[in-house]
């Protein structure tokens, strides 16, 4: 009997087991397979993203200068107004009567009082002339001793009375003359009455859009009460509270891309034109305003807008994924770099910081491999052998509306 075929499997089993043991040992020596990234270079844009609201550069609060009852309201929320447009009218019967009374008094002066005073002046001057002639005649008679002194004194007294009457008539006529005291008083009275009457018509002082209305026909209004609020036409801004940790990257003139929540498919541009000099201690934010020019037609007051401010740009930056950084918020961030199959903690210096990627200005070179967040960083000591499973770098905003992906191949 030939026993060789029966004995051959028993002879091969120890050999196979030995090969398996060697394979396991070899795999352990190579280390575990961990996800990682290859350092690449390319364009990178640093952005700050925040949410704010549309505001007008100025608002006008419209009220009444006098107390009165509303007759008519001619505008409502959302209406566009121009300078001089009538917004609200008040009842004006009593003020209209005062204006008409002042007009009548002025006409009375021009058509009746002034001619009468001129006539009275002429009469008084004639009486003075007559009294003067009579005094002179009696002086002559007295010198000839033809009349008594008493008659002369009576003539002198009559002349004095006539002279005083003529002076009063002259003063009255001068006061009533065109452009003099009485006419000016009446014209000022008329102007005051007309000014009060004009206040019953409340007009727009500037072009804008009505935001709120707090008045209806029949309401009693008084000075100090806000009847309408108008957003003045002109520059439109977006007011955005931004986390104070981003203050160092913000600067006037930086451009931003904006999206209104109500119109997500219609982006528009804005420019940073104001950074508050103080911090909101309660919220930990700094207030930033962005000027919108040109202003989209769909933009409305207090509309919610998402703003992406470009705070930095590099055309050729070495980038590392943020999930590969250890202690990214500290003064000395680290990465786990893999060189010759072994792990080492490598300090790095960061430049621009994006949402997914950050620029490395020192500590890494293009082509280096770093471990990602899926690796158990705490349990990896320096010198540990590992194998790297290549991952694709996260997308980075290039600032032109496109996304950049850098493929990483493991050699």
What's the CATH number where 335 sits? Answer: 2.40.30.170
Instruction: Select from 347, 346, 350 the least CA-distant residue to 361.
Output: 350
Asked if the model's pLDDT at residue 87 lies above 60, the reply is yes
* Residue 3 located in a structural domain: no
C-alpha separations of 56 from 2, 300, 305 in Å: 104, 9, 14
Predicted pLDDT at 407: 31
* Residue 11 located in a structural domain: no
Segment 382-399 mean pLDDT:
71
Count of structural domains, the chain: 3
Higher local confidence (pLDDT), 6 or 308: 308
For residues 386 and 392, the answer to whether their CB atoms sit within 8 Å is: no
Q: What phi, psi does 254 have (nearest 5°)?
A: -65, 140
Q: Are residues 71 and 129 in the same domain?
A: no
Instruction: Select from 326, 314, 336 the least CA-distant residue to 396.
Output: 314
Q: Strand, coil or helix: what is 200? A: coil
Q: CA–CA separation, 140 vs 127, rounded Å? A: 20
* Residue 399 located in a structural domain: yes
Q: Are residues 247 and 346 in the same domain?
A: yes
The length of the chain is: 411
Q: CA–CA separation, 255 vs 312, rounded Å? A: 10
Q: Are residues 300 and 312 in the same domain?
A: yes
Task: Name every residue whose Cβ is closer than 8 Å to that of residue 145 and which is 6 or more positions away in sequence.
Answer: none
Of the three residues 213, 232, 251, the one that is the final residue of a domain is 232
Q: Are residues 255 and 277 in the same domain?
A: yes
Q: Which domain range does residue 283 map to?
A: 33-57+234-411
Burial 121-147 (b: 16+ CB within 10 A, else e): beebbebbeebeebbeebeeebeeeeb
* Residue 5 located in a structural domain: no
Where residue 304 falls among pLDDT bands split at 50, 70, 90?
very high
Q: Strand, coil or helix: what is 29? A: helix
Predicted pLDDT at 401: 36
Where residue 279 falls among pLDDT bands split at 50, 70, 90?
very high
Where residue 402 falls among pLDDT bands split at 50, 70, 90?
very low
Asked if the model's pLDDT at residue 72 lies above 70, the reply is yes
Q: Are residues 376 and 248 in the same domain?
A: yes
Where residue 375 falls among pLDDT bands split at 50, 70, 90?
low
Q: Are residues 382 and 241 in the same domain?
A: yes
Q: 8 exposed, middle or buried (CB, 10 Å; 0-12, 13-18, 19+)? A: exposed
DSSP state of 174: H
Predicted pLDDT at 272: 95
Of the three residues 150, 173, 197, the one that is the final residue of a domain is 197
DSSP state of 172: H
Q: Are residues 67 and 105 in the same domain?
A: no
Q: CA–CA separation, 199 vs 186, rounded Å? A: 20
Q: CA–CA separation, 177 vs 340, rounded Å? A: 112
Higher local confidence (pLDDT), 276 or 372: 276
* Residue 212 located in a structural domain: yes
Predicted pLDDT at 284: 93
Identify any residues that bridge with 347 across adjacent strands, giving them in sequence order.
334
Rounded (10°) CA dihedral 59, 63, 65, 71: 140
DSSP state of 185: H
The β-bridge relationship of strands 33-38 and 387-390 is parallel
On average, the pLDDT of the chain sits at 82
Task: Name every residue whose Cβ is closer than 8 Å to that of residue 140 and which is 6 or more positions away in sequence.
Answer: none
For 310-334, write each residue's pLDDT tens digit. Answer: 988 888 888 888 888 887 777 788 8
175-189, 222-236, 268-282: which range is least confident on average?
175-189
For residues 213 and 228, the answer to whether their CB atoms sit within 8 Å is: yes
Higher local confidence (pLDDT), 195 or 234: 195
* Residue 379 located in a structural domain: yes
* Residue 15 located in a structural domain: no
C-alpha separations of 49 from 177, 253, 259, 302 in Å: 75, 16, 11, 18
Asked if the model's pLDDT at residue 205 lies above 90, the reply is no
Name the range with the highest mean pLDDT among 22-36, 74-88, 392-406: 74-88
Instruction: Select from 29, 37, 31, 27 the least CA-distant residue to 374.
Output: 37
Segment 215-237 mean pLDDT:
88
Of the three residues 178, 197, 216, the one that is the final residue of a domain is 197
Q: How many helices (H) and strands (E) does the chain have?
A: 5, 23
Q: Are residues 300 and 328 in the same domain?
A: yes
* Residue 25 located in a structural domain: no
Segment 260-272 mean pLDDT:
93
Where residue 396 falls among pLDDT bands split at 50, 70, 90?
low
Q: 264 exposed, middle or buried (CB, 10 Å; 0-12, 13-18, 19+)? A: exposed
Predicted pLDDT at 8: 53
Concatenate the DSSP letters of all residues of 363-401 into one string: S--TT-EEE-TTS-GGG--TT-B-EEEE-PPPPEE-SSS
Q: What is the pTM of this model?
A: 0.54
CATH number reported for the structural domain that contains residue 212 in this entry: 2.40.50.100
Q: Are residues 258 and 247 in the same domain?
A: yes
Q: CA–CA separation, 202 vs 178, rounded Å? A: 34
Q: Are residues 353 and 388 in the same domain?
A: yes
Q: Are residues 108 and 40 in the same domain?
A: no
Predicted pLDDT at 326: 84
Q: Are residues 120 and 51 in the same domain?
A: no
Q: Strand, coil or helix: what is 282? A: coil
Asked if the model's pLDDT at residue 336 lies above 70, the reply is yes
Asked if the model's pLDDT at residue 83 lies above 80, the reply is yes
């Amino acid at each position: 009997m030939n026993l060789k075929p029966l004995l051959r499997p028993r002879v091969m089993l120890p050999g196979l087991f030995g090969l398996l043991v060697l394979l396991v040992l070899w795999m352990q020596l190579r280390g575990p397979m961990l996800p990682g990234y290859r350092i690449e270079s390319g364009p990178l844009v640093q952005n700050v993203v925040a949410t704010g609201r549309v505001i007008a550069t100025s608002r006008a609060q419209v009220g009444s200068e006098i107390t009165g009852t509303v007759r008519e309201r001619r505008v409502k929320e959302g209406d566009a107004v121009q300078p001089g447009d009538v917004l609200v009218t008040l009842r004006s019967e009593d003020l209209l009567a005062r204006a008409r009374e002042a007009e009548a008094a002025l006409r009375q002066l021009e058509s009746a009082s002034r001619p009468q005073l001129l006539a009275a002046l002429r009469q008084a001057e004639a009486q003075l002339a007559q009294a003067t002639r009579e005094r002179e005649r009696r002086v002559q008679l007295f010198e000839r001793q033809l009349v008594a002194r008493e008659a002369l004194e009576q003539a002198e007294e009559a002349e004095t009375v006539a002279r005083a009457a003529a002076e009063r008539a002259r003063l009255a006529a001068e006061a009533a003359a065109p452009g003099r005291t009485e006419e000016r008083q009446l014209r000022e009275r008329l102007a005051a009455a007309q000014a009060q009457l004009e206040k019953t018509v409340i007009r727009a002082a500037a072009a804008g859009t009505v935001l709120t209305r707090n008045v209806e026909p029949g309401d009693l209004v008084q000075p100090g009460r806000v009847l309408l609020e108008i957003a003045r036409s002109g520059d439109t801004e977006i007011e955005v509270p931004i986390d104070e940790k981003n203050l160092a990257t913000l600067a006037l003139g930086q451009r931003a891309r904006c999206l209104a929540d109500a119109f997500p498919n219609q982006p528009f541009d804005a420019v940073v034109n104001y950074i508050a000099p103080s911090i909101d201690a309660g919220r930990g934010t700094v207030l930033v305003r962005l000027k919108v020019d040109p202003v989209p037609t769909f933009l409305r007051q207090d509309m919610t807008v998402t703003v992406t401010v470009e705070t930095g740009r590099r055309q050729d930056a070495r980038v590392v994924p943020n999930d590969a950084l250890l202690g990214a918020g500290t003064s000395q961030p680290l990465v786990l770099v893999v060189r010759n199959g072994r792990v080492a903690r490598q300090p790095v210096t960061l430049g621009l910081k994006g949402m997914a990627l950050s620029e490395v200005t020192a500590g890494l070179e293009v082509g280096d491999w770093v471990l990602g967040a899926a690796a158990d960083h705490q349990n990896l000591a320096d010198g540990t052998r590992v194998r790297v499973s290549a991952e694709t770098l996260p997308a980075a905003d290039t600032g032109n509306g496109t996304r950049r992906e850098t493929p990483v191949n493991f050699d």
